[in-house]
Amino acid sequence: MATIPTYTSELPVGTLSEIEVSLLHPAQPALGYREVNYRVQQFKAMSSKELDTYLREHFLPVAIAPDGVPYVVDHHHRARAIQLTGLRETVYIKVLENCKDSTEAEFWQMMQENAWVYLYDKDGNPIEPDEIPANLALLQDDKYRSLAWAVLEAGGYQESNVPFQEFMWGNYFRQHISFEDTDEEFTKAVNEALILCRKPQASQLPGYIAGVGEGSASKAK
């Protein structure tokens, strides 16, 4: 198997590299930690070789900022889950853009044009780029992002390639469902959300399926 180079800020676009997960900078302020915890259990069930192979095949895409910091632009839940397993300190990344020669303003313009940054906090409020946590370990828990993930798994809507799809659905559910983040309340919220998925007002959301709502909350806990 070919040797994968260790990360440096000089890596050209398209390079696959290995980096300590603690050095990655998120490009969003929040996660759904129920999904993260589910992934933690998946990774812990793998052997070290299986996990390494999985991470090589499912690398994290990054954009290198003018200061050399690598920003994760997708799969934050996977990255945070690896960090929480305690099984290893590194992950594999692929450089999508290297903005070492750009200004900070140009970098953030590029990030927004590519839909690689999500500037809303755990409550759905807008933020500025400098309010994004500097480390994956500092990401907030958005229970509605967890709800959107569980509803997707239950068949409430289809996965699409629209960036931040689950956050969009989460914000829709946020407007209609109130719940405490306990297992019992979460399961009830999933069942309510499955009904909301088939409402006409959800038809503009990515992955909408007309007439759904009969799934189950199997991954609610």
Q: What is the CATH number of the domain that holds 86?
A: 3.90.1530.10
Of 140, 91, 99, which is closest to residue 13 (Cα–Cα)? 99
Q: Which residues pair with 126 in a beta bridge?
A: 120
For residue range 185-208, what is the model confidence (pLDDT) as tens digits? Answer: 999 999 999 999 999 999 999 999
Q: Would you place residue 3 in the very low, low, confident or very high pLDDT band (cuts 50, 70, 90)?
A: confident
For residue range 78-88, what is the model confidence (pLDDT) as tens digits? Answer: 999 999 999 99
- Give the global pTM: 0.92
Q: In the prediction, which pLDDT does 221 show?
A: 43
Question: In the predicted model, is pLDDT for residue 70 greater than 80?
Answer: yes
- Could you tell me the two tokens for 6? 């260790």
Residues 176 and 150 in one domain: yes
Q: What is the mean pLDDT of the chain?
A: 95
Distances in Å between the Cα of 77 and the Cα atoms of 26, 34, 187, 196 are 10, 10, 21, 25
- The alpha carbon of 124 is separated from its chain's Cα centroid by a whole number of angstroms, namely 15
Q: Would you place residue 219 in the very low, low, confident or very high pLDDT band (cuts 50, 70, 90)?
A: low
For residues 103-117, give the mean pLDDT: 98
CA quadruple 149, 150, 152, 153: dihedral positive or negative?
positive
For residue range 162-187, what is the model confidence (pLDDT) as tens digits? Answer: 999 999 999 999 999 999 999 999 99
Q: Provide long-range contacts, Cβ within 8 A and 24+ apart, for 163-167.
A: 163/115, 163/116, 163/118, 164/28, 164/115, 164/118, 165/206, 165/207, 166/32, 167/118, 167/120, 167/142
For residues 10-26, give the mean pLDDT: 98
Q: Would you place residue 213 in the very low, low, confident or very high pLDDT band (cuts 50, 70, 90)?
A: very low
Single-letter code of the amino acid located at 87: L
Q: What is the CATH number of the domain that holds 186?
A: 1.10.8.10
For residue range 125-143, what is the model confidence (pLDDT) as tens digits? Answer: 999 999 999 999 999 999 9
- Residues whose CB falls within 8 Å of the CB of residue 167, separated by 6 or more in sequence, listed in order: 118, 120, 142, 145, 148
Of 164, 64, 176, 74, which is closest to residue 120 (Cα–Cα)? 164
Q: For 120, which DSSP code?
A: B
Q: In the prediction, which pLDDT does 15 show?
A: 97
Q: In the prediction, which pLDDT does 1 show?
A: 62
- How many structural domains are present in the chain? 2
Tell me what percent of the residues of the chain surpass a pLDDT of 70. Answer: 95
Q: In the prediction, which pLDDT does 76 show?
A: 98
Q: In the prediction, which pLDDT does 36 show?
A: 99
Residues 24 and 89 in one domain: yes
Q: For 126, which DSSP code?
A: B
Residues 25 and 64 in one domain: yes
Q: In the prediction, which pLDDT does 216 show?
A: 46
Of 104, 8, 129, which is closest to residue 62 (Cα–Cα)? 8
Residues 111 and 153 in one domain: no
Domain boundary among 105, 132, 159: 132
Say how far apart CA 29 and CA 179 lie, in whole Å.
Answer: 21
Q: In the prediction, which pLDDT does 2 show?
A: 72
Residues 105 and 42 in one domain: yes
Range list of β-strands (E), the chain:
16-20, 30-31, 60-64, 70-72, 90-98, 140-141
Q: Tell me the three state secondary structure of residue 198.
A: coil
For residue range 92-103, what is the model confidence (pLDDT) as tens digits? Answer: 999 999 999 999
